[in-house]
Chain A
């Protein structure tokens, strides 16, 4: 990876079923992620994805760009807007893009952005990954 390089955007589909599964897997049972009634009562447009679920999708993008699932050294995001997830078969989509900010030997710093319906949902998002030496099996 080279400084300034734009990495290929990755797109992830998110459905209500994903939120149920993630709630169970993470232990986050906040009802704004599964109850339309509760989400609207606190002023949200409807059920929204867990912020940490969106961050997990960005994490998948980072490991894909890094070429290894265990290469992440540092990873941080700011949650800027919620990700509403409609109760239908299509769900919504989150796009994750990145620019290579710095390369220091094996350490590569990425500036990440995640959008949904054209709006930025993750900002000030950064990851540092360890580029694997040549010859390591994928």
Chain B
């Protein structure tokens, strides 16, 4: 079943707020081997000008997991998750994510294309504070492999 092209331009209902936790940032930084004190020690983070520990650059993906489920679980979109491969990922930061941030995620389908029997879906997730201030924009391109 091909992806439903009418979804291009659609914005899903916002998910969240995702409360960024100090312990979660520490856990994530530890998991990727990032030992810089600003990821672990609030005093070091404050000395560097941040209110609390800073999340490593790819951490915002964790706050987009709910949006990913919106795509995956939407029966009318027609995504066969068993055939999905991660294609591209990009983050553009207004500022670093820090512990204590509450992030709202609004996902928009930017493009659905087909080439060589495979389909490609590009989404843009805007992560903002509950007041609507931009924090990070996350683009994701998934490849839905064609039948072999």
Residues of A within 8 A of B (CB): 12, 18, 21-22, 24-28, 42, 51-53, 55-57, 59-60, 62-63, 68-70, 72-79, 124, 137
B residues near A (Cβ < 8 Å) are: 24, 27-28, 30-34, 36, 38-39, 47-48, 50, 54, 56-58, 61-62, 65, 82, 85-93, 96, 139
Complex: chain A residue closest to B66, CB-CB = A27
Interface hub of B31, B34, B36 (most chain A Cβ within 10 A): B31
Known: A25-B31, A27-B65, A52-B58. A74 touches B90 (CB 8 A): yes
- The smallest C-beta distance from B43 to any residue of chain A, in angstroms, reads 13
What is the CA–CA distance of A113 and B31 in the complex, to the nearest angstrom?
A: 22
**Given known A-B contacts A60-B56, A69-B54, A70-B54, A24 and B89 have beta carbons under 8 A apart:** no
Question: For the complex, what is the distance from the CA of A73 to the CA of B95, rounded to whole Å?
Answer: 8
Q: Is A26 a contact of B48 with CB atoms below 8 Å? A: no
CA distance A124 to B87 in the complex (A): 11
Most chain A beta carbons < 10 A, residue from B27, B33, B54: B33
What is the chain B residue whose CB lies nearest that of A22?
A: B31
**Nearest CB in chain A to that of B31: its residue:** A25
A8 to chain B, nearest CB (A): 17
Closest-CB distance, B27 to chain A (whole angstroms) = 5
From B56, which residue of chain A is reached at the shortest CB distance?
A59
Q: Quote the shortest CB–CB distance from B98 to chain A (angstroms).
A: 9
Nearest opposing residue in chain A for B90, CB measure: A76
Please, which residue of chain B has its CB at the minimum distance from the CB of A51?
Answer: B86
Complex formed: what's the CA distance from A26 to B64 in Å? 10
Q: Which residues of A contact B27 (CB under 8 A)?
A: 24-25
Task: Count chain B CB atoms within 10 A of each CB in A52, A53, A70 and give the residue with the most.
Answer: A70
Within 8 Å CB of B139, what residues of A?
76
**Given A51-B89, A70-B96, A18-B56 contact (CB < 8 Å):** no
Determine the chain B residues whose CB is within 8 A of the CB of A28 once the complex forms.
65
A55 touches B82 (CB 8 A): no
Contact status B87-A56, CB under 8 Å: no
- Taking CB atoms, residues of chain A closer than 8 Å to B48 are 68, 70, 137
CB distance from B29 to the nearest CB of A (A): 9
Nearest residue in A to B95 (C-beta to C-beta)?
A70
Residue of A with least CB distance to B81: A30
Q: Are B89 and A62 in contact (CB-based, < 8 A)?
A: no
Inter-subunit contact B56/A69 (CB<8 Å): yes
- Please tell me if the beta carbons of A42 and B31 are within 8 angstroms of each other in the complex: no
8 CB contacts below 8 A, A to B, read A24-B27, A42-B82, A52-B61, A52-B89, A56-B32, A56-B34, A60-B32, A68-B48
Q: Given known contacts A42-B82, A72-B91, what 10 new A-B pairs fall within 8 Å (CB)?
A: A18-B31, A24-B31, A25-B31, A25-B32, A26-B31, A56-B57, A60-B33, A62-B57, A76-B89, A137-B47
